[in-house]
Amino acid sequence: MVSVNERIEQLRAEMASRGIDIYYVPNEDDHLSEEYTADYFKCKSFISGFSGEAGCAVVTKDWAGLWTDGRYFTQAEGELKGTCVELMRMGQAGVPAAMDFLVANTPENGTLGFDGRVVAASSVLRLQRALKEKHAAVRMDEDLAGIVWGKERPAMPEEKLYVLPKKYTGEDAAERIARVRAAMAEKGADVLIITRLEDPCWMLNIRGDDIACTPVSYAFAMVTKKTVSYYIDPKKLNPEVSAHLKKAGVTVKKYDALEKDLKKLSNKTIWADLRSLNAYLYEQIGTDNRILNLPSPILQFRACKNRTEIRNLRNAHLKDGVAMVKFLYWLKTNIGTIDMTEISAENKLYSLREEQEGYIEPSFHTISAYKGNAAMMHYSATEASNAVLKPEGFLLVDSGGTYCDGTTDITRTIALGKLTDEEKMYFTKVLRANLRLARAKFLYGTTGNNLDILARGVLWDLDIDYQCGTGHGVGHVLGVHEGPHGIRWGMPAGRPNAVLEPGMIVTDEPGVYLPHKLGIRTENELLVTKGKKNFYGQFLHFEVVTYCPIDLDAVLPEYLSDEDIEQLNAYHAMVYEKLSPFLKGKEKSWLKQATGKIKK
């Protein structure tokens, strides 16, 4: 196998032959998906050797670097060891943003290169403006990382589409198309270009399987006042999907036909989000058109779940809760008596979810991380790293399922046996952070940035932090991570504040991560719900829709307030009430004990 260093040298040879001084390899696909992509698009991982799902690589004539965020620092340290690639820890003092680095390190009269199909139009416009002062050029017509990858590169996926019926979505495709057109009329748009992978799926009530653990298909769409064009590989269609699209008035075109259709547009007002429209497609749009550079209206539509979707997602969490309780019972009663590893525990949970009615697939690859491995937030056990589980310390399990009813995401940190007082203290502090956020009441107009301190403040009081957001949106039978909302601190570029609206789902997942020592996270999903409306305005609050006990074996009640304890006891009573009808015998008895009341 060709080493990372050899791949980078081959890339430099391709750069040199074209007069390129610095080359940028992002993580994204041609839809600018921020995290999960098909294997075909994983050029960043191929070139750098870093397998994490975020970041980018930059290669110059004599240097190579990998940018990633705090979730992946420990993982990246291990995977980059022994290579020529330097880890650039995003957000840390002295580490420039990748885009700033590209500008600073492109020489006067030099050339910056990248594949324009996987870089956002907004990013390229910014780079071009900055490099103009240096009389430097941008070349984005070739995928040099792909050239180096060659015949070994995976093929584009060709998985079949399927219809998600109205009983799960609450609206048919024609109704959703009408909502999109109404939004276009409000903005005065003649054309809407739909680029995010989730958006055509939501609008047309179809799903796919092109990306592992995410039920989407590689496809674009374009909506006008009278037409809807759907750009996809025709191999992915079956008679049922074809009939469904025809009934909705949708014209199916080849995946690459969007390029030609964009060239045909003239004197139109085109709604396109330049953060999710790739630079190559943007260049096909004639300059006589007017661009409305706004997020797609579908982003907000799919974030705010309707009554049918909410009812179904509660059903999905019931099924998921049953699978999780069966898993926790198995783990707690067998640890130390049978052989267990991170991977065997992970596989056990997969099998229990598969038993649930309407199960489709995992919503992401399960994180099953023992002791120090859990300090890597997005750890994935391999045969090389697969730790043996013992009746001591913590096992962190972050997992989820996609069902016909909805998508779930849950993390439980499980005491496998003896714990230190320090471990229990950190566990209880994380629990307190989770509880504080979950009981928040707030006025309409509040964003996740406003609420983050409720959770994070508990850990800041200990002079520690978790280097990620506190919560993210969750799709309905779509991606486990979605926007526009989230719960995080600061004002990250490209992630503006989004008001929390009724019907939104957001996770609540504070944590403590001590490198090479431990990782603790407790995660539930929250539904934004209307509260009282009075003189002060419309109040909102959260409903916890995740049903699974939190491990009382790791709780030190003295670190909880009376309000925390009352809230935890109420949550556990609700969990038992909802899940016990679906359990029998020892599993039901175990759940009764696991959801028992605690007191100081």
What residues make up the domain containing 440?
304-594
Whether residue 540 is predicted with pLDDT greater than 90 in this model: the reply is yes
For residue 495, the model assigns a pLDDT of 61
The answer to whether residue 140 is domain-embedded is yes
292 shares a domain with 270: yes
- Domain end among 296, 328, 354: 296
Look at residues 163, 174, 192, 392 and name the one whose alpha carbon lies nearest to residue 272.
Answer: 192
For residue 91, the model assigns a pLDDT of 87
Whether residue 491 is predicted with pLDDT greater than 80 in this model: the reply is no
554 shares a domain with 578: yes
The answer to whether residue 395 is domain-embedded is yes
394 shares a domain with 496: yes
- What confidence tens digit (pLDDT) does each residue in 108-154 have? 999 999 999 999 999 999 999 999 999 999 999 999 999 999 999 99
426 shares a domain with 391: yes
Mean pLDDT of the chain: 96
The answer to whether residue 600 is domain-embedded is no
The answer to whether residue 599 is domain-embedded is no
173 shares a domain with 219: yes
Write out the two tokens for 309.
Answer: 């979707």
User: Does residue 473 sit in helix, strand or coil?
Assistant: strand
494 shares a domain with 414: yes
For residue 34, the model assigns a pLDDT of 79
User: Once rounded to an integer, what is the mean pLDDT over residues 461-476?
Assistant: 95
In a 10 Å sphere around its CB, with 0-12 CB exposed, 13-18 middle and 19+ buried, how is residue 110 labelled?
A: middle
181 shares a domain with 139: no
The answer to whether residue 235 is domain-embedded is yes
291 shares a domain with 309: no
What is the CATH number for 117?
3.40.350.10
For residue 184, the model assigns a pLDDT of 98
- Domain end among 296, 322, 348: 296
How many domains is the chain partitioned into structurally?
A: 3
The answer to whether the CB of 438 falls within 8 A of the CB of 546 is no
426 shares a domain with 492: yes
Within 10 angstroms of residue 257's Cβ, the number of other Cβ atoms is 15
- Domain end among 296, 323, 354: 296
The answer to whether residue 355 is domain-embedded is yes
Whether residue 207 is predicted with pLDDT greater than 90 in this model: the reply is yes
- What confidence tens digit (pLDDT) does each residue in 243-269 have? 999 999 999 999 999 999 999 999 999
For residue 378, the model assigns a pLDDT of 84
pLDDT band at 514 (very low <50, low <70, confident <90, very high): very high
For residue 345, the model assigns a pLDDT of 98
530 shares a domain with 405: yes
User: Once rounded to an integer, what is the mean pLDDT over residues 281-293?
Assistant: 97
- What confidence tens digit (pLDDT) does each residue in 377-407 have? 888 899 989 999 999 999 999 999 999 999 9
Write out the two tokens for 258.
Answer: 């969007």
Q: What percent of the chain has pLDDT over 70?
A: 99
350 shares a domain with 239: no
Look at residues 571, 482, 98, 557 and name the one whose alpha carbon lies nearest to residue 296.
Answer: 482
The answer to whether residue 157 is domain-embedded is no
**Residue 574: its H or E element:** helix 562-579
What is the CATH number for 377?
3.90.230.10
For residue 238, the model assigns a pLDDT of 96
For residue 490, the model assigns a pLDDT of 80
* CA dist., res. 233 & res. 258, Å (int): 12
212 shares a domain with 141: no
The answer to whether residue 216 is domain-embedded is yes
For residue 94, the model assigns a pLDDT of 94
